[in-house]
Structure 1
Amino acid sequence: MNTTYFPILKALGAEFTALENTKPGNATHIIPLFELPKVPDRKKYRESSTPITEFIDDTSEEIRRLWAGKYAMFDAYHWSPTATNEHGEHVIPYTYNALEFMGVQAVPVVGYDRWGVLEYQMALQSISRTHKGKFCIRLDHTAFEDSAEPDFFQENLGEIISLLELDPANCHVILDFEDVTPFGAIDLMGKFESLFNLISGYGFMSYSIAGCSLPKTINEAVKKPNTCGAVLRKEMLLWRSARQRFPRFPIYFGDYGVRGPNSNEGVPSKHTNGKIRHTIDKEYFVARGQSISKPPKGEQMWELAQKIIDSGHYLGDQFSWGDSEILRCSKKKFKGNAGQWIAIDTNHHLAYVVAEVAEFERVTASRTATVEE
């Protein structure tokens, strides 16, 4: 099994910076799903007569700069399923055409949760009529809920495949658990098995599991300011269990990087806490500071970076660009703002997960070979 990783990343500057600085050897194992955020509240877009069109064009250009010639999934999960640009064109086919024109191997994502909206169906049909590449079906909480009524769920899934004329053998499926903080590991595995048993007979090309264990705010992860703590990455435990439970199926790992599906989309706040989210084996090691509005303000990052280095989890400045930035910060070379630290944390996370998945697959394959002998 190839060690491919399917992260769901916000199509924002911090994530673009993280990908830009990802080592080529790691990037070859990553197929991102770019989540199109709402149009940011920036002067450029406030003063534009066509802010939606310009924002999608700008975002597509950034994806092209980083990912031209590679597979990139895209979705507008947080937009209305009827959203159009200023010229009346639905945002999904408009984004698809922009990415294709720019040389990205765009993979349209079909959201199960939005399929009942006629305008959404028609938008995806307009793509499927000419698209010869791969498709992705995204099964979120709506699909998990519907799986309690198997006939109803399979009727809906069958309609997606039929109306879009999809070939399951050319289609990737994401089982998207979104925010997994309310659930235990056993509950998650039960939810996975219930849904996976309903789709495993369709002959889909591949699958990935996605979820995020980081809560919406850092004070929910580490209660006390100026302390460190660990957050269990339940999505990683779930994926490992799924790989062992269904070893003959191509089930890949996915997550939300270092900020979850419901996190603040790049809107600055004066109450933001200084923090570093450092991915380690099956956990996030979190160094939490305090409000950046209080002394020592941004300079607190120097101490937080040193805490990461002294934690026993630091892998050295050669491991990733993000790790080299942590070292630079500990030497008081820069402080960084919230966006820069999302980029640094995400870059380390991408590098770590690629290595973590590869090691798990290597050990699993070795154990399987030993048993077969």
Structure 2
Amino acid sequence: MTANNYLPIYKAKPGEFRALAEAKKTHDRRTLPLFEVCRIGEGVRTAARFKNSSALTCAYLDETAQRIAQVRSGRSALVDAFQWNPDSLTETGEHVLPYIYSRLESMGVQVIPVIGYDRWDSTTYRLAMQGVEVPEDGYYCMRLDSHAIEDAEDPEFFEERVLDILDDLSIEPERCAALIDFGDVTALSIEDLTDQADRVMQVLAPLGFKFFSTAGCSLPPSIDKAVKKQDSTGKVIRKEMLLWQAMRVTYPQVKWLFGDYGVRGPNTAEDVISPNTNGKIRHTIGQSYYIVRGHSVQQPGKGAQMYKLAKTVVDSIHYMGKDFSWGDARILACSKEEFKGNSTDWIAIDTSHHMAWVVAEVEEFELKTTASVVSV
């Protein structure tokens, strides 16, 4: 069985689901996704499909579970509700996470419960997660966010808290993975990231966790912060990849998965459709995002601007060909003016290329790292 090497944190939204549905088997087998269940916004509350629902939260979680199962039935997936209040309950009085976990398991998804370090002080959350049943061959994943990263500045306190969480779950570290999640890293330098991750690893590396992953997103919430000028191109360094490579080399004795947020970060607006959205393609390349920015869809050209943006990608040195991924084939089709696509379509297209690129990138780095160790 091919081992996972990529742990993307995806919003449980149609664009990401489409990318996974269209993924090549070689890429899909390498990917272990964490699905972030988005909060219930106005778009969900007013949706016609939920109009007559007397239990909106249950109906929404049922729908989300169904969509996850369509792309992960028979396989593993991590699922979290990081943006929800820790004590969020369904109309039936059940905590939202055990509720959706139960639905997913009934549909054949092998759920890996995500334990929020930041939420463990909530009695409601803690009791709910302690009640989640995990099979003997299953495991958990502890999500270490900014609170944990800050706590690592006091190593003794941090280690005690981590061990307390494991003790509350009645598990050994071997039955838990550790995700060091930096979230939005646009304001952090590579040096800041590596120093902070190193503090965490100095405490956790000796404990014997199942595997480690770092995650973050260098893409700013809006495209104008990445590329200032309309109808132009630019690059954004993928600091999360440089961080993972540094940690992989510094701590070769533990198992690593690379993690990131795909092509849209944790702070991008959810359930909000902006009438002035810019046309854009976020095309992943070596250690960077190649950003092709258009202009507001309200300006002349509107959605048809995507033809030109796609052609810019296809004509660039960065285009890998239509066989590289489903997304790359769609970019070529758009450059030939066969379709324009909407914002959800382009999240799917960009995510598809990103997944294919990252899986290959991580595998290549692993081979080089292993070769260098053997040569020594």
Change (3 A) 1:336 1:266: farther
Counterparts of 2:338 and 2:135, CA distance in 1: 51
1:223 aligned to which of 228, 234, 244: 228
Corresponding position of 2:83: 78
Helix, strand or coil for the counterpart of 1:109?
A: strand
TM-score normalised by L of structure 2: 0.96
Q: Percent identity?
A: 45
Kindly provide the CA deviation profile for residues 217-275 of structure 1, in whole angstroms up to 9, marking residues without a partner as x.
00000000000000000000011111111111112200000000111124211111000
Over 3 Å off, 4+ runs = 128-132
Helix, strand or coil for the counterpart of 2:206?
A: coil
Residue type at the aligned position of 1:30: T
Q: Tell me, yes or no, if the aligned pair for 1:3 and 1:358 is still in contact at 8 Å.
A: no
1:206 aligned to which of 198, 208, 211: 211
Q: Tell me, yes or no, if the aligned pair for 1:50 and 1:86 is still in contact at 8 Å.
A: yes
Corresponding position of 2:38: 37
Greater shift after overlay, 151-160 or 65-74?
A: 151-160
Q: Tell me, yes or no, if the aligned pair for 1:292 and 1:298 is still in contact at 8 Å.
A: yes
Residue type at the aligned position of 1:338: S
Counterparts of 2:123 and 2:194, CA distance in 1: 33
Where does 1:1-373 land on structure 2 (aligned, <5 Å)?
2=3, 4-40=5-41, 41=43, 42-128=47-133, 133-371=138-376
Shift of 1:39: 2.3
Counterparts of 2:242 and 2:275, CA distance in 1: 35
Q: Tell me, yes or no, if the aligned pair for 2:4 and 2:32 is still in contact at 8 Å.
A: no
Residue type at the aligned position of 2:27: N
Residue type at the aligned position of 1:359: E
Shift of 1:130: 6.8
Shift of 1:38: 1.2
TM-score normalised by L of structure 1: 0.97
Q: Tell me, yes or no, if the aligned pair for 1:185 and 1:237 is still in contact at 8 Å.
A: yes
Give ranges in structure 1 of 5+ residues lacking alignment.
none
Q: Tell me, yes or no, if the aligned pair for 2:214 and 2:259 is still in contact at 8 Å.
A: yes
Residue type at the aligned position of 1:172: A
Give ranges in structure 2 of 5+ residues lacking alignment.
none
Kindly provide the CA deviation profile for residues 152-208 of structure 1, in whole angstroms up to 9, marking residues without a partner as x.
222221111011112211211100011111111111100010111111121111010
Kindly provide the CA deviation profile for residues 76-134 of structure 1, in whole angstroms up to 9, marking residues without a partner as x.
00001000111111101101111111110000000001111000000001104777621
Greater shift after overlay, 125-134 or 269-278?
A: 125-134
Counterparts of 2:309 and 2:19, CA distance in 1: 20
Helix, strand or coil for the counterpart of 1:7?
A: strand
Change (3 A) 1:289 1:69: same
Q: Tell me, yes or no, if the aligned pair for 2:241 and 2:258 is still in contact at 8 Å.
A: yes
Counterparts of 1:154 and 1:67, CA distance in 2: 34
Q: Tell me, yes or no, if the aligned pair for 2:5 and 2:256 is still in contact at 8 Å.
A: no
Kindly provide the CA deviation profile for residues 132-151 of structure 1, in whole angstroms up to 9, marking residues without a partner as x.
62111000000011111222
Residue type at the aligned position of 1:28: R
Counterparts of 1:195 and 1:242, CA distance in 2: 11
Counterparts of 2:263 and 2:115, CA distance in 1: 24
Q: Tell me, yes or no, if the aligned pair for 2:281 and 2:310 is still in contact at 8 Å.
A: yes
Q: Tell me, yes or no, if the aligned pair for 1:266 and 1:339 is still in contact at 8 Å.
A: no
Counterparts of 2:335 and 2:196, CA distance in 1: 43
Residue type at the aligned position of 1:163: D
Q: Tell me, yes or no, if the aligned pair for 1:309 and 1:327 is still in contact at 8 Å.
A: yes
Greater shift after overlay, 64-73 or 282-291?
A: 64-73
Shift of 1:44: 2.0
Counterparts of 1:129 and 1:314, CA distance in 2: 43
Helix, strand or coil for the counterpart of 1:367?
A: helix
